[in-house]
Every structure is written in structure tokens, then in C-alpha cells.
């Protein structure tokens, strides 16, 4: 069983500008600060076949309900790996090392009415009997909150 999350982020910029932004280490570091990561490391590696973005961040679990905090602890580490095989498509894998959950899917950039829409489509899966659905829903809520922060940072970034 898994929970599917589809979320759209809109930018008043051409696809090329948004693609450059999403593969920029400084932009991703700014997003880490915006989501209040207590520590983070961002790498961007380019080769002939793909641009690989890797974000590892630690975040406090202050807003996590008590039933889930017992599972994740006072902080949690999240590792997000994106493989941009074209300027408009990335395969995404998010893991939580040492925890029984992950997210996999894609990010696609589309030009719509002179704006760029980033479509994030992820499958969230948690392997904990009895509470998997609750934890997946919780992860989806936290992910949407993080995506909204990324969108705000991105809009500011593109306006500079």
C-alpha cells in the first residue's frame, strides 16, 4: 500500500530558468534554510547523461504527532536524490535512513500560459504494520509544506 502525492508549483518564468534554478546548489541550500533544516549538504553533479542533485538534511520533528515521533525521534534525516535526464524531467527518490519509509516518483516541468508549472508526482510508502497509512498521510502533509516553502523561495529567486 502507498499514498500518491501530486503537487504543482507555478513560476512566472520560462522553463529554462526554472530548470537552471532547480539544479543550482545555492538555490537548494536556500530552500534547506527555509524549511529550517538544522544541517544540510547539497551536491550537484553534471555528466553527459544527467544532472544529479542530492540533498541530505536533518530536520527537527517538533510538529510530528506523538505516535509518529516515537518512530522518528527528535530529529530525522532526509536524503533526496534527483536525476535530471533532461531539463524538464527528473526521477526522484527520497529516503529516510534507518526508517521504514521512502518516496519515489518524478518532477516534470511544463510550460503553461507563459508560466512554468513544476509537477511533483510521488508515491509515498511506509512499511509499518497498522499505522502505515497514517504515517504516509503525515509525510504527505509535511512534503506539501516543504514544497510550498520551496515554491516561495523559487519565486523570490527568479525575481532577482
Tell me the C-alpha distance between 20 and 16, whole Å: 6
Among the listed ranges 15-24, 83-92, 121-130, which one has the minimum average pLDDT value? 121-130
- Confirm if 123 and 140 have CB atoms less than 8 A apart: no
* pLDDT of amino acid 135: 79
Predicted confidence band of residue 136 (pLDDT cuts 50, 70, 90): confident
Q: What is the mean pLDDT of residues 48-61?
A: 93
DSSP state of 113: T
DSSP state of 38: S
Among the listed ranges 2-16, 33-47, 66-80, 104-118, which one has the minimum average pLDDT value? 66-80
Q: What is the mean pLDDT of residues 27-54?
A: 97
| Four-point Cα dihedral 64, 65, 69, 72, nearest 10 | -50
Residue 16 has which C-alpha cell?
529554462
Give the count of domains, the chain.
1
* pLDDT of amino acid 67: 65
Predicted confidence band of residue 137 (pLDDT cuts 50, 70, 90): confident
Tell me the C-alpha distance between 134 and 37, whole Å: 24
Please report, for the domain that includes residue 31, its CATH number: 3.30.530.20
User: How many helical (H) and strand (E) elements, i.e. helices and strands, does the chain have?
Assistant: 4, 7
* pLDDT of amino acid 92: 98
Owning domain of residue 38: 3-159
To the question of pTM greater than 0.75 for the whole model, the response is yes
- In this predicted structure, the answer to whether residue 146 has a pLDDT above a threshold of 90 is yes
Amino acid at each position: 500500500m502507498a499514498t500518491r502525492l501530486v503537487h504543482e508549483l507555478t513560476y512566472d518564468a520560462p522553463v529554462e530558468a526554472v530548470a537552471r534554478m532547480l539544479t543550482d546548489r545555492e538555490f537548494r541550500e536556500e530552500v534547506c534554510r527555509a524549511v529550517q533544516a538544522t544541517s544540510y549538504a547539497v551536491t550537484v553533479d553534471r555528466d553527459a547523461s544527467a544532472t544529479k542533485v542530492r540533498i541530505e538534511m536533518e530536520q527537527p520533528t517538533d510538529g510530528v504527532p506523538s505516535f509518529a515521533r516515537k518512530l522518528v525521534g527528535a530529529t530525522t534525516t532526509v536524503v533526496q536524490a534527483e536525476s535530471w535526464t533532461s531539463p524538464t524531467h527528473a526521477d526522484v527518490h527520497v529516503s529516510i535512513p534507518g526508517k521504514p519509509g521512502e518516496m519515489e516518483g518524478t518532477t516534470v516541468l511544463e510550460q503553461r500560459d507563459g508560466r512554468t508549472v513544476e509537477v511533483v508526482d510521488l508515491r509515498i510508502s511506509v512499511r509499518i504494520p497498522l499505522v502505515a497509512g497514517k504515517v504516509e498521510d503525515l509525510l504527505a502533509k509535511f512534503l506539501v509544506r516543504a514544497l510550498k516553502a520551496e515554491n516561495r523561495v523559487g519565486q523570490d529567486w527568479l525575481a532577482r
